[in-house]
Amino acid sequence: MDLVIRGATVYDGTGGPPCLADVGVSGGTIAAVGDLTREAGATEVAATGLALAPGFIDVHSHDDFAVFLTPEMDFKVAQGVTTTVVGNCGLGAAPHEAAQRYLPFFGADAHRDRLPAWTTYADYLDAVDRHPPSLNVAVLVGHGTLRFDVMGNDRRPPSDRELAGMLDTLAAGLDAGCIGYSSGLVYEPGRYSQTDELVTLAQEMAQSGGVYASHMRNEGDGLLDAVAETIRIGADGGVPVQISHHKASGRSAWGLVHDSLALIERARSRGVDVTADQYPYTAGSTALFAVLQNHEERAHGVGDVEWERITLASAPRHPEWERRSIADLAAELHADPVEAARAVVDAEGYGAVVVMETMNEDDVRTVMGHPSTMIGSDGIPTFGGKPHPRLYGTFPRVLGHYARDAGVFTLAEAIRRMTAMPAAKFGLAGRGAIEPGAAADLVLFDPATIDDTGTYDEPRRYPAGVTAVWVGGTRVMHDGAHTGERPGRALRRARD
Ligand SMILES: [Zn+2]
C-alpha cells in the first residue's frame, strides 16, 4: 500500500449512506476499503471527521486549451474535480485549424505558441498524455468544429461529400477514444444545421457507443421544442443523450423546466437514455457575439435579453469594461444597448465574454433536485477578466449551499450526481467509485464548511473546505495549495 486515508466518512459514489472506513491505495488504484492495518512505507492521512468521495467528474467543461496552457488546472482540482470532459457546446479541439478560432474566446490568442501541435482527435489525446495536466481529460468531438472544417459558416445543409467528411472525422475521433459528440445550436456554425444532419452523425455512434451532448437550439421560450429535438436525435440516432446546462433562460421562460423535466421523464420511460447537467447559479455566461447574433436574428435561443442584466466578464482589449453592464455602457456611449453591444463585439470579437442574469432560483433547484441531473461547471477558463464564478466554485457550491444548507438533496446523492452517475453515462470505466480496483481519484473535504467563496467581482477564489485531492493516487491539492503534480491523462473509451 502506498497510501492509507484513515477514518474518513466514505461516500462511495452510489448515493447510499456513507460508512466509516479506511481507504488504501496502491499503484494509483484503490486497493482496499475497510479496517486497514498499518503498513510500513505507506503514507498515512488522518481523515476523522472528514468526508471522502470519488473525485468529481466535470461533465461540461471548456478546458480543451486550458489543459495545456494552465496544466495545473488549479481552478478545477481545487474543487475536487479529477476528470474534465472537454469539447462541449460543439466547440471541439480538432481538426486543429478549425478549433484555433475559439482561442480568442478564452483570451488565449497571445498564448497560441505554447500549445503543443495536434491535428486530429487522436493527436489531441496523445498530446494530453505527452503534456499531462493535473487532472484526467475525456473528449467529446465538437459538431461545430467538424462543420466549420468542411463548410465554414455556410448557412445551408452540407452536401453529401461534406457530410461524409464530417462523419469521417467523427468516426476517427471515436476510434481514437472520444466519448461522444457535442453540438452548440445557438452558435455558429452549429445553428445552421438541421435535425437530420445531427441524427446522421448520431447514427455513426450507435453501434460503437458514444453520447450526444447538446447545447440546445433554444433555452428560452422555445425550450420544450429544443428538448424534443434533442430527444429525437438520441432516439433516431440510437444513442444516449445529454442535455447540456439544463435551464429556462429569460423571464418569459421561467417555470418551463417543469415541462422539460416531464419530457425527459417521458422519453426515459420509452427507453431513451436522456439525462442532463447543470451549473448551480442563476446567471449564465457566453460570448457576447452569440447573444447579439441571437437577438438580431430574433432566434431567442439564449432567452429574452435584458441588457441591464448582461455584464462583461472579459474584454481583453478594454479591461475597464469588465463588470459593467451593456445598458450602462450604452448610456455612456449615448447609444442604444444593441449598438453598444455591437461596438463591444466590433472591438473585442469573440473575446467579449458576458455574464447574464437570466435564471430563476426555483428553477435551478427544481432541475437540481430531479434525478436526471448531473453536475457540470460550464466554466470558461479565460486569461484575465472576471470569469463566471462557476469556473472555481461549481462542485463545492452544490455540496455546501445546495445539499447541506438548502437541502435540495442528500450529500450522498449530490456526490453520486458528480461521480458514479456521470462515469456510467460517459463510459468512464473504473472511475467515480470508491471500491477496490477503481482509480484512486479521490477528494477529502469537510462537509461542514465546503462551499464556493467566489463572487462575480472576485471570482478567482478557491473554495472552502476541500482538504486534499488525489488523481490516480497522486496528491494534487494539499491544505488549499496545489502540489505542482500533474498525474492526469487522457481517458479513452473503448469502442464496444
Ligand atoms: Zn453551452
User: pLDDT tens for residues 216-243?
Assistant: 999 999 999 999 999 999 999 999 999 9
Confidence of residue 107 (pLDDT cuts 50, 70, 90): confident
Q: What is the mean pLDDT of the chain?
A: 96
What spacing in Å lies between the alpha carbon of 286 and ligand 1's midpoint? 8
Does 496 have pLDDT greater than 60?
no
Q: What share of the chain is helix, strand, coil (3-state, %, to 5)?
A: 35, 20, 40
Residue 187 has a pLDDT of 95
CATH number for the region 3-53+437-449+463-482 comes to 2.30.40.10
Measure the CA–CA gap between 431 and 303, rounded to whole angstroms. Answer: 36
Beta partners for residue 275, in sequence order? 242
Task: Tell me the whole-structure pTM to 2 decimals.
Answer: 0.98
Confidence of residue 495 (pLDDT cuts 50, 70, 90): low
Q: In what order do the strands lie in the sheet with 353-357?
A: 283-287, 353-357, 310-314
Handedness of CA 338, 342, 348, 353 (dihedral sign): positive
pLDDT band at 301 (very low <50, low <70, confident <90, very high): confident
Give residue 491 CA to ligand 1 midpoint distance, Å: 22
Integer Cα distance of 214 and 230 in angstroms: 7
- Averaged over 147-168, what is the pLDDT? 97
Residue 303: the pLDDT is 87
Ligand 1 centroid distance, CA of 102 (Å): 14
pLDDT-derived band of residue 299, with 50, 70 and 90 as boundaries? confident
> Under CATH, which number does the domain 55-282+359-425 receive?
3.20.20.140
pLDDT tens sequence across 368-397: 999 999 999 999 999 889 999 999 999 999
CA atoms within 13 A on the CB side of 413: 13
Picking from 307, 299, 286, the residue whose alpha carbon sits closest to that of residue 352 is 286
Rounded to the nearest angstrom, the distance between the alpha carbon of 173 and the centre of ligand 1 is: 21
CB 217 within 8 A of CB 185: yes
Domain boundaries, the chain: 3-53+437-449+463-482, 55-282+359-425, 285-356
Distance of CA 69 from the midpoint of ligand 1 (Å): 21
Q: In 3D, which of 222, 103, 87, 84 has the Cα closest to residue 144?
A: 87
Average pLDDT over residues 298-321: 91
CB 208 within 8 A of CB 183: no
CA of 319 to the centre of ligand 1 (A): 24
- Residue 361's Cβ-count burial label (10 Å; 0-12, 13-18, 19+) is exposed
Dist. CA 467–CA 445, nearest whole Å: 5
Q: Read out DSSP for 242-254?
A: EETT----SGGGT
Q: Is 335 exposed, middle or buried (0-12, 13-18, 19+ CB in 10 A)?
A: middle
Q: What's the CA-to-centroid distance between 215 and ligand 1, angstroms?
A: 5
Share of the chain above pLDDT 90, in %: 93
Helical H segments across 334-457, by residue range:
337-348, 361-369, 390-397, 411-418, 420-425
Residue 304 half-sphere exposure, CB side, CA atoms within 13 Å? 12
Q: Cα of 85 to ligand 1 centre, how many Å?
A: 13
Q: d(Cα 406, Cα 400) in Å, to the nearest integer?
A: 8
| Fold match between domain 55-282+359-425 and domain 285-356 | no
Instruction: Using pLDDT thresholds of 50, 70 and 90, give the confidence band for residue 304.
Output: confident
| Confidence check: pLDDT of 31 > 80 | yes
**How close is the Cα of 25 to the center of ligand 1, in Å?**
37
> In the 8-state DSSP scheme, what is residue 175?
H
* CATH code of the region 285-356: 3.30.1490
Q: Is the pLDDT of residue 207 over 90?
A: no
Lowest mean pLDDT among 199-203, 304-308, 425-429: 304-308
Does the pLDDT of residue 69 top 90, yes or no? yes
Ligand 1 centre to CA of 290 (Å) is: 11
Handedness of CA 389, 391, 392, 394 (dihedral sign): positive
Cα 422–Cα 391–Cα 225 angle in degrees, nearest 5 = 60
Q: What is the mean pLDDT of the segment spanning 468-477?
A: 98
Please give the distance, rounded to the nearest whole angstrom, from the Cα atom of residue 378 to the centre of ligand 1.
7
3-state secondary structure of 341: helix
